[in-house]
Structure 1
């Protein structure tokens, strides 16, 4: 991509999601990105031929504006809309400027859903983690794919907060018609300062990919 996301260099398990998407979905599948930000994941999905639903409520992420960068610097950042237009991808992306938990899942059914480190923000702690997971699951059609990378606890203040979860704890939400395909975790690692965290810091991250059973598979389960 010629237009670079502000989050371009932060660690991600997104390549694993793309590999699973290639296996479980058609090239023109509809993929919802929850917490789309300025398009780190939206643009490559659209460029690959997918129809993308980008859910983001932050006006700065969508429309651009001045941001603070490491080193006490300031810059004008391009928002998601401008970046899509520059790449000629605007017609492949439906932007939903709304709080994700206010959206009725039946209004945006999709073949796959992806989120990256969205639910650990303190503004989201007023809602149980199960609420986020359930709402994301309900977006996914039968035979579809669920992908989430998330922050794991690093220091003591994180441990009482369920939103800093683990692959094992998150996996408990995937029973019945769901099959967990892959879980991964990192050890603690140092990440360079970036927008939103203007000093070097330590993270742990996890990944969970799950597939929702097709209608035929669900029927077979009931029969057995």
Structure 2
């Protein structure tokens, strides 16, 4: 990629998701990315030949603008729309600029759905985690793939917030129409400063991949 995401250096389990997707779906399949941001995952999927449904409600992530960067410096960042144009990938991506929990975009069933550390944001805490997960599941056609990486508790304040979860707890949201393929978790690690977190900080992350049973 000639352009770079603001989140380029943050840790991710995305390679595990992409490897599983490659095994289970042809390259022209449709993948929904929930919380598409500026395209850290959208662009690699489109470049690999997938058709992408990118759902994102943050105008800055989509259109770019001024942000405060680590080191207390300001800078202009490129949004998803311009990154797709510069990489000549815009014809493979449909952008839905709506709240994921309110959009009707799930009427278009996808071969896979992916989200990265989206439901732990406080803006989503007014809705139960189960609602978020069920909504994601509704995007996946029978035989399709569900993938989510998520924040696990690292501080006492997280104990009362169900959105900071674990692979074991998240697995309970998958009934007999789903087969959990893989769960992973990290130990605590130090994440480098980035937009929104201007100091180095501690994280712990989990992954869950599940397959929707075919009809």
- Which TM bucket (shorter chain)? over 0.9
Deviating runs (4+, > 4 A) in structure 1?
A: none
Counterpart CA distance in 2 for 1:104 and 1:98 is 9
Does residue 183 (structure 1) correspond to residue 183 (structure 2)? The answer is yes
Partner of 2:138, secondary structure, is helix
Q: Where do residues 51-130 of structure 1 align in structure 2 (5 Å cutoff)?
A: 51-104=51-104, 106-130=106-130
Partner of 2:101, secondary structure, is helix
> Cα gap change, 1:188/1:128 in structure 2, threshold over 3 Å: closer, same or farther?
same
Residue of structure 2 equivalent to 1:41: 41
Q: Deviations over 1:69-109 (max 9, x none)?
A: 01011110000000000000000000000000011254221
Structure 1 residue 26: deviation in Å? 1.1
Larger radius of gyration: 1
Q: Is the 8 A contact 1:153 1:204 kept in 2?
A: yes
CA RMSD after TM alignment = 0.7
Counterpart CA distance in 2 for 1:155 and 1:59 is 30
Does residue 165 (structure 1) correspond to residue 165 (structure 2)? The answer is yes
Partner of 1:181, secondary structure, is strand
Unaligned runs of 5+ in 2: none
Unaligned runs of 5+ in 1: 216-224
Q: Is the 8 A contact 1:54 1:94 kept in 2?
A: yes
As a proportion of its length, which structure holds more helix? 1
Tell me the TM-score normalized by structure 2: 0.99
Does residue 18 (structure 1) correspond to residue 21 (structure 2)? The answer is no
